[in-house]
Amino acid sequence: MLSKVILQANIDKVETYFDRADKIVIVTHVSPDGDALGSSLGLYHFLSVHEKTVNVIVPNAFPDFLRWMPGAKDIIRYDKYTEFANKLIAEADVICCLDFNALSRIDQMADAVREAPARKVMIDHHLNPEPFCRITISHPEISSTSELIFRLICRLGCFDDITMEGAECIYTGMMTDTGGFTYNSNNREIYFIIGELLSKGIDKDEIYRKVFNTYSEGRLRLMGYVLYEKMQVYPQFRSALICLSKNEQSKFQYVKGDTEGFVNMPLQMKGICFSVFLREDTDKNMIKVSLRSVGAFPCNKVAAEFFNGGGHLNASGGEFYGSMEDAIGLFKQALVKYESLLLKN
Ligand code: 5GP
Ligand code: MN
Protein backbone atom coordinates (compact mmCIF):
# COMPACT_ATOMS: atom_id res chain seq x y z
CA MET A 1 0.00 0.00 0.00
CA LEU A 2 1.11 3.53 -0.75
CA SER A 3 0.85 6.34 1.75
CA LYS A 4 -1.25 9.32 0.72
CA VAL A 5 1.27 11.90 -0.39
CA ILE A 6 -0.93 14.21 -2.47
CA LEU A 7 -3.56 16.18 -0.54
CA GLN A 8 -7.06 14.82 -0.98
CA ALA A 9 -8.35 18.31 -1.81
CA ASN A 10 -5.93 18.49 -4.73
CA ILE A 11 -6.92 15.05 -5.97
CA ASP A 12 -10.58 16.11 -5.90
CA LYS A 13 -9.87 19.32 -7.80
CA VAL A 14 -7.77 17.58 -10.44
CA GLU A 15 -10.54 15.03 -10.90
CA THR A 16 -13.06 17.79 -11.53
CA TYR A 17 -10.72 19.60 -13.92
CA PHE A 18 -10.05 16.44 -15.92
CA ASP A 19 -13.73 15.46 -15.97
CA ARG A 20 -14.77 18.81 -17.37
CA ALA A 21 -11.90 19.16 -19.80
CA ASP A 22 -11.89 18.12 -23.38
CA LYS A 23 -8.59 19.57 -24.55
CA ILE A 24 -5.63 19.03 -22.28
CA VAL A 25 -2.10 20.28 -22.91
CA ILE A 26 0.90 18.93 -21.02
CA VAL A 27 4.05 21.06 -20.89
CA THR A 28 7.45 20.38 -19.38
CA HIS A 29 10.80 22.08 -18.92
CA VAL A 30 13.42 23.12 -21.45
CA SER A 31 15.87 20.37 -22.53
CA PRO A 32 13.50 17.71 -21.27
CA ASP A 33 15.10 14.82 -19.40
CA GLY A 34 13.82 11.33 -18.64
CA ASP A 35 11.57 12.48 -15.83
CA ALA A 36 10.18 15.44 -17.77
CA LEU A 37 9.22 13.16 -20.66
CA GLY A 38 8.36 10.17 -18.46
CA SER A 39 5.87 12.13 -16.39
CA SER A 40 4.43 13.97 -19.41
CA LEU A 41 3.98 10.83 -21.49
CA GLY A 42 2.78 8.83 -18.47
CA LEU A 43 0.00 11.35 -17.98
CA TYR A 44 -0.58 11.58 -21.76
CA HIS A 45 -1.22 7.83 -22.05
CA PHE A 46 -3.55 7.90 -19.06
CA LEU A 47 -5.61 10.82 -20.34
CA SER A 48 -5.72 9.33 -23.84
CA VAL A 49 -7.38 6.23 -22.39
CA HIS A 50 -10.01 8.62 -21.04
CA GLU A 51 -10.60 9.90 -24.55
CA LYS A 52 -9.36 13.40 -23.98
CA THR A 53 -7.62 15.36 -26.70
CA VAL A 54 -4.14 15.47 -25.21
CA ASN A 55 -1.00 17.15 -26.53
CA VAL A 56 2.47 17.16 -25.01
CA ILE A 57 4.44 20.31 -25.88
CA VAL A 58 8.12 20.74 -25.02
CA PRO A 59 10.20 23.92 -25.46
CA ASN A 60 13.00 22.32 -27.48
CA ALA A 61 14.74 19.09 -28.48
CA PHE A 62 15.15 16.09 -26.22
CA PRO A 63 17.96 13.52 -26.26
CA ASP A 64 18.00 10.68 -28.76
CA PHE A 65 18.17 8.03 -26.05
CA LEU A 66 14.60 8.95 -25.05
CA ARG A 67 13.19 8.81 -28.56
CA TRP A 68 11.99 5.21 -28.13
CA MET A 69 9.56 6.21 -25.40
CA PRO A 70 5.97 5.34 -26.35
CA GLY A 71 4.26 8.54 -27.48
CA ALA A 72 7.54 10.43 -28.05
CA LYS A 73 6.74 10.74 -31.76
CA ASP A 74 3.60 12.71 -30.97
CA ILE A 75 5.41 15.32 -28.86
CA ILE A 76 5.25 18.83 -30.29
CA ARG A 77 8.37 20.96 -30.18
CA TYR A 78 7.53 24.58 -29.41
CA ASP A 79 10.69 25.91 -31.10
CA LYS A 80 9.72 24.17 -34.36
CA TYR A 81 5.94 24.45 -34.42
CA THR A 82 5.42 27.65 -32.46
CA GLU A 83 2.21 28.78 -34.12
CA PHE A 84 0.50 25.43 -33.85
CA ALA A 85 1.64 25.05 -30.24
CA ASN A 86 0.42 28.56 -29.36
CA LYS A 87 -3.02 27.65 -30.72
CA LEU A 88 -3.16 24.45 -28.67
CA ILE A 89 -2.05 26.28 -25.53
CA ALA A 90 -4.55 29.12 -26.04
CA GLU A 91 -7.44 26.71 -26.67
CA ALA A 92 -6.70 24.21 -23.91
CA ASP A 93 -9.19 23.67 -21.09
CA VAL A 94 -6.48 22.42 -18.76
CA ILE A 95 -2.69 22.85 -18.91
CA CYS A 96 -0.62 20.44 -16.83
CA CYS A 97 2.81 21.82 -15.96
CA LEU A 98 5.05 18.88 -15.16
CA ASP A 99 8.52 18.68 -13.60
CA PHE A 100 9.13 22.42 -13.29
CA ASN A 101 8.40 25.02 -10.64
CA ALA A 102 8.69 28.38 -12.45
CA LEU A 103 7.61 29.72 -15.83
CA SER A 104 11.20 30.71 -16.55
CA ARG A 105 12.00 26.98 -16.84
CA ILE A 106 9.93 26.71 -20.05
CA ASP A 107 11.83 29.51 -21.83
CA GLN A 108 10.05 30.91 -24.90
CA MET A 109 6.83 29.07 -23.98
CA ALA A 110 6.38 31.05 -20.77
CA ASP A 111 4.28 33.90 -22.21
CA ALA A 112 1.86 31.63 -24.02
CA VAL A 113 1.29 29.50 -20.90
CA ARG A 114 1.04 32.52 -18.60
CA GLU A 115 -1.58 34.16 -20.79
CA ALA A 116 -3.62 31.06 -21.57
CA PRO A 117 -7.10 31.06 -20.00
CA ALA A 118 -6.87 27.32 -19.21
CA ARG A 119 -6.98 25.97 -15.68
CA LYS A 120 -3.40 25.18 -14.79
CA VAL A 121 -2.12 22.35 -12.66
CA MET A 122 1.49 22.01 -11.50
CA ILE A 123 2.78 18.56 -10.66
CA ASP A 124 6.41 18.80 -9.63
CA HIS A 125 9.13 17.92 -7.14
CA HIS A 126 11.39 21.00 -7.21
CA LEU A 127 11.68 23.31 -4.22
CA ASN A 128 9.92 26.68 -4.04
CA PRO A 129 7.10 26.41 -6.61
CA GLU A 130 6.02 29.75 -8.04
CA PRO A 131 2.31 30.53 -7.82
CA PHE A 132 1.23 30.46 -11.47
CA CYS A 133 -1.13 27.47 -11.30
CA ARG A 134 -4.58 27.08 -9.80
CA ILE A 135 -3.56 23.73 -8.34
CA THR A 136 0.00 23.24 -7.13
CA ILE A 137 0.97 19.67 -6.39
CA SER A 138 4.56 20.16 -5.27
CA HIS A 139 6.43 17.43 -3.42
CA PRO A 140 10.21 17.91 -3.19
CA GLU A 141 10.42 14.86 -0.93
CA ILE A 142 9.40 12.63 -3.86
CA SER A 143 12.30 11.70 -6.11
CA SER A 144 10.57 12.10 -9.48
CA THR A 145 7.56 13.77 -11.04
CA SER A 146 6.85 10.46 -12.75
CA GLU A 147 6.31 8.87 -9.35
CA LEU A 148 3.86 11.67 -8.55
CA ILE A 149 1.97 10.90 -11.76
CA PHE A 150 1.70 7.25 -10.71
CA ARG A 151 0.44 8.33 -7.30
CA LEU A 152 -2.06 10.74 -8.82
CA ILE A 153 -3.51 8.14 -11.19
CA CYS A 154 -3.85 5.63 -8.35
CA ARG A 155 -5.51 8.17 -6.09
CA LEU A 156 -7.99 8.91 -8.88
CA GLY A 157 -8.86 5.22 -8.60
CA CYS A 158 -7.56 4.50 -12.07
CA PHE A 159 -4.61 2.12 -11.62
CA ASP A 160 -6.31 -0.24 -14.08
CA ASP A 161 -6.15 2.44 -16.77
CA ILE A 162 -2.35 2.49 -16.73
CA THR A 163 -1.26 0.76 -19.91
CA MET A 164 2.07 -0.93 -20.49
CA GLU A 165 3.14 2.10 -22.55
CA GLY A 166 2.21 4.45 -19.73
CA ALA A 167 4.01 2.24 -17.21
CA GLU A 168 7.16 2.27 -19.35
CA CYS A 169 7.16 6.07 -19.37
CA ILE A 170 6.59 6.35 -15.63
CA TYR A 171 9.32 3.81 -14.93
CA THR A 172 11.76 5.67 -17.18
CA GLY A 173 11.24 8.91 -15.26
CA MET A 174 11.63 7.24 -11.88
CA MET A 175 14.77 5.49 -13.06
CA THR A 176 16.49 8.49 -14.64
CA ASP A 177 15.83 10.95 -11.80
CA THR A 178 17.42 8.54 -9.31
CA GLY A 179 20.39 7.53 -11.49
CA GLY A 180 19.01 4.01 -11.90
CA PHE A 181 17.91 3.98 -8.22
CA THR A 182 21.33 4.91 -6.87
CA TYR A 183 20.39 8.25 -5.23
CA ASN A 184 17.23 9.80 -3.75
CA SER A 185 15.91 6.29 -3.81
CA ASN A 186 15.67 5.05 -0.22
CA ASN A 187 11.92 5.43 0.05
CA ARG A 188 10.64 1.85 0.16
CA GLU A 189 7.43 2.84 -1.62
CA ILE A 190 9.46 3.36 -4.79
CA TYR A 191 9.96 -0.40 -4.92
CA PHE A 192 6.31 -1.08 -4.31
CA ILE A 193 5.53 1.14 -7.30
CA ILE A 194 8.12 -0.67 -9.43
CA GLY A 195 6.37 -3.92 -8.55
CA GLU A 196 3.07 -2.47 -9.71
CA LEU A 197 4.64 -1.21 -12.95
CA LEU A 198 6.13 -4.65 -13.58
CA SER A 199 2.62 -6.07 -13.28
CA LYS A 200 1.79 -4.04 -16.41
CA GLY A 201 4.34 -6.04 -18.36
CA ILE A 202 7.25 -3.60 -18.57
CA ASP A 203 10.77 -4.94 -19.09
CA LYS A 204 12.79 -2.80 -16.68
CA ASP A 205 16.12 -4.30 -17.72
CA GLU A 206 15.47 -3.44 -21.34
CA ILE A 207 14.44 0.09 -20.40
CA TYR A 208 17.73 0.47 -18.53
CA ARG A 209 19.68 -0.63 -21.61
CA LYS A 210 17.68 1.59 -23.95
CA VAL A 211 18.34 4.65 -21.80
CA PHE A 212 21.84 4.11 -20.47
CA ASN A 213 23.59 1.89 -23.02
CA THR A 214 22.94 3.57 -26.35
CA TYR A 215 25.79 6.01 -26.62
CA SER A 216 27.83 6.81 -29.70
CA GLU A 217 31.52 6.09 -30.07
CA GLY A 218 32.12 9.86 -29.92
CA ARG A 219 30.48 10.11 -26.52
CA LEU A 220 32.65 7.36 -25.06
CA ARG A 221 35.83 8.87 -26.48
CA LEU A 222 34.78 12.29 -25.21
CA MET A 223 34.30 10.73 -21.78
CA GLY A 224 37.81 9.29 -21.91
CA TYR A 225 39.23 12.66 -22.95
CA VAL A 226 37.35 14.48 -20.21
CA LEU A 227 38.55 12.11 -17.49
CA TYR A 228 42.15 11.96 -18.69
CA GLU A 229 42.73 15.55 -19.75
CA LYS A 230 40.08 17.79 -18.33
CA MET A 231 39.07 16.79 -14.83
CA GLN A 232 40.61 18.99 -12.16
CA VAL A 233 40.53 17.61 -8.64
CA TYR A 234 40.69 19.85 -5.58
CA PRO A 235 41.17 17.30 -2.79
CA GLN A 236 41.65 20.04 -0.18
CA PHE A 237 38.06 21.11 -0.94
CA ARG A 238 36.79 17.57 -1.65
CA SER A 239 35.71 18.92 -5.04
CA ALA A 240 36.26 18.47 -8.76
CA LEU A 241 35.71 20.54 -11.88
CA ILE A 242 35.35 19.67 -15.57
CA CYS A 243 35.24 22.36 -18.29
CA LEU A 244 34.55 21.77 -21.94
CA SER A 245 34.77 24.32 -24.76
CA LYS A 246 32.72 24.29 -27.97
CA ASN A 247 35.87 23.49 -29.89
CA GLU A 248 36.53 20.37 -27.82
CA GLN A 249 32.93 19.25 -28.23
CA SER A 250 33.12 19.49 -32.01
CA LYS A 251 36.30 17.39 -32.07
CA PHE A 252 34.19 14.52 -30.73
CA GLN A 253 31.17 15.09 -32.99
CA TYR A 254 29.21 16.29 -29.97
CA VAL A 255 25.46 15.98 -30.16
CA LYS A 256 23.08 17.16 -27.47
CA GLY A 257 23.05 14.77 -24.55
CA ASP A 258 26.56 13.43 -25.11
CA THR A 259 27.82 14.91 -21.86
CA GLU A 260 24.85 13.65 -19.85
CA GLY A 261 26.11 12.20 -16.58
CA PHE A 262 29.68 13.49 -16.88
CA VAL A 263 29.16 15.70 -13.85
CA ASN A 264 28.51 12.61 -11.72
CA MET A 265 31.76 10.85 -12.58
CA PRO A 266 34.13 12.70 -10.21
CA LEU A 267 31.88 11.70 -7.31
CA GLN A 268 33.04 8.11 -7.83
CA MET A 269 36.34 9.17 -6.21
CA LYS A 270 36.64 8.51 -2.53
CA GLY A 271 36.33 11.71 -0.53
CA ILE A 272 34.89 13.88 -3.33
CA CYS A 273 31.53 15.35 -2.39
CA PHE A 274 31.08 18.24 -4.85
CA SER A 275 31.41 18.22 -8.62
CA VAL A 276 30.87 20.97 -11.19
CA PHE A 277 30.73 20.70 -14.97
CA LEU A 278 31.03 23.81 -17.15
CA ARG A 279 30.13 23.41 -20.81
CA GLU A 280 30.07 26.09 -23.49
CA ASP A 281 26.58 25.76 -24.92
CA THR A 282 26.30 25.00 -28.62
CA ASP A 283 22.98 26.86 -29.08
CA LYS A 284 23.08 29.83 -26.76
CA ASN A 285 26.04 32.08 -26.00
CA MET A 286 26.42 30.89 -22.43
CA ILE A 287 28.06 28.33 -20.23
CA LYS A 288 25.75 25.61 -18.97
CA VAL A 289 26.58 24.76 -15.39
CA SER A 290 25.79 21.41 -13.80
CA LEU A 291 26.43 20.77 -10.13
CA ARG A 292 26.23 17.59 -8.07
CA SER A 293 26.95 16.79 -4.45
CA VAL A 294 26.71 13.88 -2.08
CA GLY A 295 25.41 14.02 1.46
CA ALA A 296 24.35 17.29 3.04
CA PHE A 297 26.32 19.69 0.84
CA PRO A 298 23.76 21.98 -0.85
CA CYS A 299 24.92 22.37 -4.45
CA ASN A 300 21.65 24.20 -5.23
CA LYS A 301 22.84 27.05 -2.98
CA VAL A 302 26.03 27.37 -5.01
CA ALA A 303 23.95 27.24 -8.21
CA ALA A 304 21.68 30.04 -7.00
CA GLU A 305 24.42 32.21 -5.53
CA PHE A 306 27.01 31.95 -8.28
CA PHE A 307 25.35 30.68 -11.45
CA ASN A 308 21.82 32.13 -11.72
CA GLY A 309 20.33 28.72 -11.15
CA GLY A 310 18.88 26.35 -8.61
CA GLY A 311 17.57 22.82 -8.32
CA HIS A 312 17.81 20.05 -5.80
CA LEU A 313 20.15 19.68 -2.81
CA ASN A 314 22.33 17.13 -4.62
CA ALA A 315 21.64 17.95 -8.28
CA SER A 316 21.35 21.46 -9.58
CA GLY A 317 22.20 23.62 -12.53
CA GLY A 318 22.48 27.13 -13.83
CA GLU A 319 23.55 29.34 -16.70
CA PHE A 320 26.53 31.66 -16.82
CA TYR A 321 26.83 34.48 -19.32
CA GLY A 322 30.53 35.25 -19.56
CA SER A 323 33.86 33.65 -20.31
CA MET A 324 34.98 30.20 -19.20
CA GLU A 325 37.75 31.84 -17.18
CA ASP A 326 35.24 33.91 -15.25
CA ALA A 327 33.10 30.85 -14.62
CA ILE A 328 36.12 28.97 -13.28
CA GLY A 329 36.90 31.97 -11.10
CA LEU A 330 33.40 31.83 -9.63
CA PHE A 331 33.75 28.11 -8.99
CA LYS A 332 36.96 28.76 -7.06
CA GLN A 333 35.28 31.55 -5.09
CA ALA A 334 32.50 29.13 -4.21
CA LEU A 335 35.01 26.57 -2.92
CA VAL A 336 36.57 29.13 -0.62
CA LYS A 337 33.23 30.43 0.58
CA TYR A 338 31.83 26.97 1.23
CA GLU A 339 35.07 25.39 2.51
CA SER A 340 33.80 24.63 5.99
CA LEU A 341 30.60 22.99 4.68
CA LEU A 342 32.58 20.98 2.13
CA LEU A 343 34.92 19.64 4.78
CA LYS A 344 32.15 18.95 7.29
CA ASN A 345 30.12 16.91 4.84
P1 5GP B 1 21.33 19.10 -15.02
O2 5GP B 1 22.66 19.30 -14.39
O3 5GP B 1 21.00 17.66 -15.19
O4 5GP B 1 21.15 19.93 -16.25
O5 5GP B 1 20.26 19.68 -14.00
C6 5GP B 1 20.06 19.11 -12.73
C7 5GP B 1 18.94 19.82 -12.02
O8 5GP B 1 19.31 21.17 -11.82
C9 5GP B 1 17.64 19.89 -12.81
O10 5GP B 1 16.82 18.81 -12.50
C11 5GP B 1 17.03 21.19 -12.37
O12 5GP B 1 16.33 20.98 -11.16
C13 5GP B 1 18.21 22.04 -12.01
N14 5GP B 1 18.60 23.00 -13.07
C15 5GP B 1 19.34 22.74 -14.18
N16 5GP B 1 19.55 23.85 -14.90
C17 5GP B 1 18.94 24.85 -14.22
C18 5GP B 1 18.82 26.26 -14.45
O19 5GP B 1 19.32 26.83 -15.42
N20 5GP B 1 18.10 26.96 -13.54
C21 5GP B 1 17.55 26.37 -12.44
N22 5GP B 1 16.86 27.12 -11.57
N23 5GP B 1 17.65 25.06 -12.19
C24 5GP B 1 18.34 24.31 -13.06
MN1 MN C 1 12.34 15.51 -12.23
Nearest ligand, measured from the Cα of 176: 2
132 pLDDT above the threshold of 80: yes
Q: What is the mean pLDDT of residues 106-125?
A: 98
Residue to mutate (ligand 1; options 301, 312, 316; most atoms within 8 A of CB): 316
Residues 207, 71 share a domain:
yes
End-of-domain residue from the set 197, 212, 227: 212
Residue nearest to atom 16 of ligand 1 (CA): 317
Residues 241, 196 share a domain:
no
Could you tell me the distance, in angstroms and rounded to a whole number, from the CA of residue 46 to the centre of ligand 2? 19
Q: What is the mean pLDDT of residues 262-271?
A: 97
The ligand 1 atom at the shortest distance from the C-alpha of residue 308 is 20
Could you tell me the distance, in angstroms and rounded to a whole number, from the CA of residue 341 to the centre of ligand 2? 26
Q: What is the pLDDT of residue 98?
A: 98
Residues 204, 260 share a domain:
no
Residues 128, 243 share a domain:
no
Residues 236, 205 share a domain:
no
Q: What is the mean pLDDT of residues 241-252?
A: 96
Could you tell me the distance, in angstroms and rounded to a whole number, from the CA of residue 45 to the centre of ligand 1? 26
Specify if 168 maps to a domain: yes
Residues 189, 49 share a domain:
yes
End-of-domain residue from the set 212, 243, 270: 212
Q: What is the pLDDT of residue 64?
A: 86
Helices (H), 92-216: 110-115, 145-155, 164-176, 188-198, 204-212
Specify if 1 maps to a domain: no
**Are 303 and 264 in contact, with CB atoms under 8 Å apart?**
no
For residue 91, what pLDDT band results from cuts at 50, 70 and 90? very high
Specify if 173 maps to a domain: yes
Residues 89, 12 share a domain:
yes
Give the residue from 113, 191, 96 showing the smallest Cα distance to 153.
96
Distance CA 38, CA 145 (A): 8
CB under 8 Å to 279, separation ≥6 — which residues? 243, 244, 249, 259, 287, 288, 290
316, burial (CB in 10 Å: exposed 0-12, middle 13-18, buried 19+):
buried
229 pLDDT above the threshold of 90: yes
The complex's ipTM works out to: 0.94
For residue 256, what pLDDT band results from cuts at 50, 70 and 90? confident
Residues 196, 275 share a domain:
no
Q: What is the mean pLDDT of residues 155-167?
A: 98
Q: What is the pLDDT of residue 260?
A: 87
Q: What is the pLDDT of residue 145?
A: 98
Query: What's the domain count of the chain?
Result: 2
Tens of pLDDT along 275-330?
Answer: 999 999 988 899 999 999 999 999 999 999 999 999 989 999 999 999 999 999 99
Neighbours of 270 (CB within 10 A): 5
For the chain, the average pLDDT equals: 96
90 pLDDT above the threshold of 80: yes
Q: The domain that contains 261 carries what CATH number?
A: 3.10.310.30
Q: What is the pLDDT of residue 152?
A: 98
Residues 306, 162 share a domain:
no
Q: What is the mean pLDDT of residues 267-272?
A: 97
200 pLDDT above the threshold of 80: yes
Specify if 3 maps to a domain: no
For residue 183, what pLDDT band results from cuts at 50, 70 and 90? confident
Specify if 78 maps to a domain: yes
Pocket (CB within 6 angstroms of ligand 1): 126, 290, 309-312, 315-319
Specify if 304 maps to a domain: yes
Structural domain that includes position 33: 8-212
Could you tell me the distance, in angstroms and rounded to a whole number, from the CA of residue 125 to the centre of ligand 1? 12
Distance CA 243, CA 340 (A): 24
Q: The domain that contains 28 carries what CATH number?
A: 3.90.1640.10
Residues 322, 271 share a domain:
yes
345 pLDDT above the threshold of 80: no
Specify if 122 maps to a domain: yes
Residues 113, 249 share a domain:
no
**Are 73 and 56 in contact, with CB atoms under 8 Å apart?**
no
Residues 336, 205 share a domain:
no
Between vectors from CA 224 to CA 221 and to CA 225, what angle results, nearest 5°?
90
Give the residue from 264, 274, 248, 260 showing the smallest Cα distance to 331.
274
Specify if 73 maps to a domain: yes
End-of-domain residue from the set 164, 182, 212: 212
Q: Rg for the chain (alpha carbons), in Å? A: 20
